[in-house]
Structure 1
Amino acid sequence: MFAAERRQLILEMVRANGAVSLRELARVVQTSEVTVRRDVRALEAEGLLDRRHGGAVLPGGFTRESGFPQKSHLATAEKTAIADLAAGLVEEGEAIVVGAGTTTQELARRLARVPGLTVVTNSLLVAQALAHANRVEVVMTGGTLRGSNYALVGSGAEQSLQGLRVSRAFLSGSGLTAERGLSTSNMLSASVDRALVQAAAEVVVLADHTKLGTDTMFQTVPTDVITRLVTDEPPGHDDRAATELQALADQGVQITVAGGAAGPSSAPGVDSVPAGRQQRRDVPLPGQRRNHGAGPGQQLRSALLGEQPPGERAARVADLRRR
């Protein structure tokens, strides 16, 4: 077991139990107490847990990650609206990757109607949603099952994605900020999400307004790699979410908002689509020009890529591979 995987297991045990002895940690991760003590010391240096005599405990104010049953009941209407819009981005015969999460699971349920689609995923729930879609081919990664969100993680999952190339990646996470991009509270999940991003020409993030302005431990997708954000309309009193949307648009992320009033919102670069409608308009960011001479597919691609030179975003993804 790699050190990163071992330390993630240690973190999950401490979060689940509040306090765990070194002996129990060593038994579960199948290594010596000396190695576990070194891992605990490293995790404490990162502020992820506190050492106690003979064991490890949660640091003050640190809460454990919510499991799938809890997440599946949060912002359900918003996730449904987001999934409806995101499904409209997928075309017949396309090859895409879909990450784990409750919002991506909703997306998968809508992709069953897209003929000739190939979906690569590390999520058992996404695969289950498409299991009976006769016209959709589902390819699953390898890896180790993470029971809290029914996702395959670890080196096996990451290695199975090497050499893969698809048109788009659809991902969700625990938080999204303009400063750090998409993030999650789980180290192994973040690592697999980064591998999914490396396989895609474009990255679409699905995040409801409750995740906007929230920053969690592990970065998965830097802001300058995100092509598009599909989200819902923040409540009028949620200034933090509205500010974050504007900041993301200012950094070149094309934003589509579900559930808003007809027509584009007041924020430049933000496209608002009424609930129940899957059509979309691609609104140029400040300084962009519409290409009226191009066909619909070319116009969409230009909007998604923010009118950047073709090599820039690919170069950024290539840079991530070298990290």
Structure 2
Amino acid sequence: MTTDATATDGTTTAGAAGTAARADGLPTLAVYKLASCDGCQLTLLNCEDELLALAGQVRIGYFPEATRAVLPGPYDLALVEGSVTTAADAERVREIRAASRHLVAIGACATAGGIQALRNFADVAEFRAAVYARPEQIDALAGSTPVSDHVKVDFELRGCPVDRGQLLEVVTAFLAGRKPGIPGHSVCFACKRRGTVCVTVAHGTPCLGPVTHAGCGALCPAYGRGCYGCFGPSADAAPDKLIPLLRRDGMDDRAVERFLRTFTAAAFESLRAGGTATGGAREKRASGDARERKRDRRQKQRKEAAS
């Protein structure tokens, strides 16, 4: 990659400098934050032993949460946490994309807009006036949107926060030049694998597990609670099919709406409106491609069976 870009701190990420930084042959990793709580970055830092093992195989080019040292880009792999909520965020994520060979969005904020996307369902100007003494000084976009709504994303890792094992898998996979082995099934499948009794069937507890992307190890149901959907909708999610079951368990329309509007509210809303699991353009293409491949496989199997 030879693209030059300037980071928000004024550092010029020139192609020649990036080549010099990788003279030792090690790939470079950069970790960025937009609008988020830092939870996904902390998940990476909590990998302690694994990070020590990774230290000899990669150079940390940019990671303010871990070190003040900065290597000039471009970088082989950029992890981006957080949603785009301001014009400055939108500009910064374009700079990150230009300075990165691969860009991975990590966490519910970066992949679905996060819990802050609840503002997408209200008047942001009204919020500003109620919260800030000088609302005119607050430069906020009308909505909180995923990274993929603004730039090309090479992979999206769900979760609030992301799963430690999955994060390590994604980092090592990209650095090794292979596709990450991340499952796409729902939390219900994870419950069955770990032998967890269905909280809805056994206790009538409302649960988003049937429509939520797996990755947490079915943590909430394992402790007798319903899933809150923090990993966002699964590939084949149909939340409108789940709503009658939620009503059967005693939830009225307002309670159902509040239940769906938590960590990945914008993603579930997009899906119900005929969109996709994240609302991002890349996710829409990926979902369509996956459906086409699945349909092609079925047609091939039918032809083979007929012959």
With normalisation by structure 1, the TM-score equals 0.28
Higher relative contact order (CA 8 A, sep 6+): 2
Structure (1/2) with the larger helix percentage: 2
